[in-house]
Chains A and B, each alone.
Chain A
Amino acid sequence: MAEEKPTPLELRRAGFARYKKDVKERGKSFYPFAMFEDTVMSLVVVAVIVGLAVLWKWTSYGPHHDGLHKGVIGPEYAPPADPGTVSFVPRPDWYFYFLFYLLRIFKWPESVFLGTIGVPTIALILLLALPFMDVRLERRPSRRPVAMVAAVLTIMSMAILTWKGATAKEALASEVIADVPSWVKTEKLPAAAVPGAKLFATAGCTACHTYLGTGGSNLGAPDLTNIGTRNLGISFQIRHLECPSCVNPGSPMPKFASLGTARLRQLAIFLESSKGKQ
């Protein structure tokens, strides 16, 4: 009698039936054996959470009676939200740093889409499709070199991106303002552009944009050192600052309309005068 080779599906079904039989015959009862380990681990988790809460409270508000004090792992809260000031550096919670830092790699406008949507969507599709891409029965890590290398590379890149996001330099308005005289000199800015330059340094622009090497380079924001060479025009600059996404659909830049037309005009003059190193 010729024996037919079992199909992969039959192999899997037979393997799972054997697993069920083995567990039934030789397995241990979930309670109390496995449940004991689960309980110990859960208690550790709760203890860690309580420990973090205590550390947070008793190094911030505890000794200082000020919830804004930084403490060891962060303040209780930042100053209240103020849509009028834009000098605050937008920063997500730490577990989004890897996404946040992707936007330093992909720049507006050519490739920012890859950083915001492209890479995360591809990663999600790969995750969902994993059990259908890897259909071998083999489970031992030593015999799954491709899967293990892919896992190590994924973990390493996420760790590096998170670390880079955590240590990314923030451009503080008080430090950036000191650079304005050197900007005037290097770019040979006219006197009319100086108020706009000071505003640029203090209004939060450098949280994302760079200018002559100063600034944050976040969220895909382009360098503005020689934005004036594109001759976009004062009125375009004002319209763009008032509502970036109205002019450039899909721009992640916040609206700066709250600065008022007069100050936006100063900013626009500064930007249009920025023709790079002269």
Chain B
Amino acid sequence: MAIRRAPSKAQVRREQMLAAVNYPLDWLEERSGLVGGVRYFLFRKVPSDTNWMQTLGSATLTAFIVQALTGVILAMYYKPSPHDAYASIQNITDHVTMGWLVRGMHKWGASVFIILLFLHMGRVFLFGAYKYPRELNWIVGVLLLVLGLTEGFTGYLLPWDQTAYWASVVGINLNGTAPFLGPWLAQFLRGGQEISGDTLSRFYSLHMLIIPGGIIALITLHLYLVIRLGVTSPPWSKEAAGREVVEEPAPVRTGLTRPAPHGGGRD
């Protein structure tokens, strides 16, 4: 017969602590289901043999978060008018405490972001991860690449120095060579016939409101699809999770560069 003993003081304290931690989580879960969502995200299964190359996507996201945070801080000091822009950039880079670090991270983080976008795309191509059922996510990724490059183009003008100014004059003129929409697009980007303060505020608005908004929306969709469809395993995987394509009969072809496959297929 089990003897029911009164719980010790330590046990009571422990249970009170657990209840205190769980109460707000339960409250949130009951009203939103968010705790379950986060739990699903963290403890979902991924193939057991994922590759280091598959960290490039989250690395790109990290670079974007760095751009977003440093961008917000820069926006507190930057003045988007032709008269003040250059001086405010000088002030941020040479006088504001740690301003050089924030602007330096934003300036060089842009290049890192673009490089990572291309590397991540290369990895997805190498793994054939754009194939059924992930076609839509590839398209979202291509749009993210385009928006990322547009961020680079619009951000380049903001320091309002000679490099920025003349690269943008020519860049906008090049947009203008497109048929039908080109002249309209160039006119829209300039906000008139000439590059002016209107151009600068337009680029500023595109650079820090519209395009990043679009990027955030598309990243959300991108991640949703990754979680819904699952992470692909390396195509050379010996693990079961890599076998999603093995049913397709391997082409039995022999030639100078391809010896006859042993037994006609993998595994």
Contact = CB atoms under 8 A, between A and B. Distances in A.
Interface of A: 11-12, 14-16, 18-20, 22-31, 33-35, 37-38, 40-42, 44-46, 48-50, 52-54, 56-57, 61, 67, 73, 76-83, 85-86, 88-96, 103, 112-113, 116-117, 124, 127-128, 130-132, 134-141, 143-144, 147, 151, 155, 219, 245, 249-255
B128 A219 contact: no
B41 A16 contact: no
A81 B167 CA distance: 11
A253 B176 CA distance: 11
Interface string B50-76: 101011101100110010000000000
Contacts of B167: 90-93
Interface in B161-178: 161-167, 169-171, 173-174, 176-178
B3 to A, nearest CB: 40
A45 B110 CA distance: 12
B43 A31 contact: yes
Contact of A37 (B43, B52, B129, B131): B52
Given A16-B133, A81-B165, A45 B63 contact: yes
Contacts, number: 288
A15 B244 CA distance: 4
Interface in B95-127: 100-101, 103-105, 107-112, 114-116, 122, 125-127
Contacts of B63: 45, 49
A33 B162 CA distance: 48
Q: Would you call the interface of chain A mostly helix, strand, loop, or mixed?
A: helix
Given A18-B247, A90-B167, A139-B128, 10 more contacts: A19-B241, A37-B55, A48-B112, A53-B105, A77-B86, A80-B161, A80-B162, A131-B138, A151-B126, A252-B177
B45 interface: yes
Contacts of B247: 11, 14-15, 18, 137
Nearest to B49: A28
A143 B250 contact: yes
Nearest to B196: A83
A132 B108 CA distance: 35
Nearest to A66: B94
Given A53-B100, A130-B138, A26 B239 contact: yes
Nearest to B90: A67
A219 B195 CA distance: 19
Nearest to B236: A140
B170 A130 contact: no
B36 interface: no
Closest 10 CB pairs of A and B: A53-B104, A139-B128, A27-B45, A81-B165, A139-B235, A131-B135, A19-B244, A52-B108, A41-B55, A252-B173
Interface in B215-267: 230-233, 235-236, 239-241, 243-248, 250-251
A62 B134 CA distance: 48
Given A61-B100, A77-B93, A12 B132 contact: yes
Contacts of B14: none
Given A53-B101, A53-B105, A92 B58 contact: no
Interface string B16-49: 0000000000000000000000000111111110
B212 interface: no
B149 to A, nearest CB: 7
A50 B48 contact: no
Nearest to A158: B118
9 contacts: A23-B46, A31-B43, A42-B62, A45-B59, A52-B104, A88-B166, A95-B114, A141-B235, A251-B173
Given A28-B46, A54-B104, A57-B101, A131 B112 contact: no
Interface stretch (B4-12, B151-159, B203-211): B151-159
Contact of B177 (A38, A131, A134, A250): A250
Contacts of B191: none
A55 to B, nearest CB: 9
B89 interface: yes
Contacts of A143: 250-251
A86 B166 CA distance: 8
Contacts of B54: 34, 37
Contacts of B146: 124
A98 B86 CA distance: 28
Nearest to A58: B100
B78 interface: no
Contact of A95 (B111, B135, B232): B111
